[in-house]
Amino acid sequence: MTQTSGSGGDEVVRLEVADGVATIRVDKPRMNALDADIQHRLGEAARACDARDDVAAVVITGGPQVFAAGADIKEMAGLDHAAMATRSARLQADFAAVARIGKPVVAAVNGYALGGGCELALCADARIAADDAVFGQPEIKLGLIPGAGGTQRLARLVGPARAKELIFTGRFVDAAEALALGLVDQVVPAAEVAERARAWAARFVGGPALALRAAKACVDTGLGLPLEVGLDLEQRQFAALFGTEDARAGTAAFVAKTEPRFTGR
């Protein structure tokens, strides 16, 4: 069964749910420029995915031709410091909502993922890219820096030296180099990106939702903590899971040598 949120086919951000997998799709011809409205709608869609019990995993995509070619520069050009201080806080909050979805999230990247588009892909847990995909953080060429998490998430993903080189130069990276850098996890033919991303997400349907949420929280939160504090977080999450029905079902199935049936409770 497929459920689509939104008022119609002209929605610039669509949330579709089918068989436990949600797809958040940006659809603003021609280049999926991420204006303030789209940024806000992405945040709303992310929060909905996080809250819905019928969503086990999430695919974020921009469609078969382009993922997102960055922020809407024309919209930003007339803003002063005070206006952008407010706008950028909202932008960070909406992208953070994507990163904080407590379920596995994969970005299906076709075509350009530049600026805010690259930053949106960085919010996912994994990235599957078309063999003709192009990534980049070209904000420096506008006298700016990434403002939707690029300086932080990119550095954590590929390391500070590589992130600095990409941000300092603003150069574009093709799919093969993105794979070598660790910026993406898989490179596949362009026609297969959507299918591969959905298959990646479908693996988690019927899985232990609370354990997946805890694992994601431990990894993501732990990256910003000293090791000892991160280990304490892991220990507390690990112990807490023993109070769940899923842990009891999983351990009982292991002992009985059967397949567990998880309920997300």
Active-site residue, selected from the candidate residues 22, 33, 46, 71:
71
Q: Give the C-alpha separation, 33 to 100, whole Å.
A: 23
Q: Tell me if residue 195 is catalytic.
A: no
Active-site residue, selected from the candidate residues 46, 119, 130, 175:
119
Q: Tell me if residue 192 is catalytic.
A: no
Q: Tell me if residue 71 is catalytic.
A: yes
Return the axis-axis angle of helices 81-99 and 36-51, rounded to nearest 10°: 30
Active-site residue, selected from the candidate residues 63, 115, 116, 250:
116
Active-site residue, selected from the candidate residues 56, 117, 136, 139:
139
Residue 83 amino acid letter? A
Q: How many residues does the chain have?
A: 265
For residue 26, the 8-state DSSP code is: E
Helices (H), 7-99: 36-51, 73-76, 81-99
Q: Tell me if residue 139 is catalytic.
A: yes
The first and second tokens of residue 68, run together, are 């997102």
Q: Give the C-alpha separation, 107 to 146, whole Å.
A: 19
The catalytic residue positions are: 71, 116, 119, 139
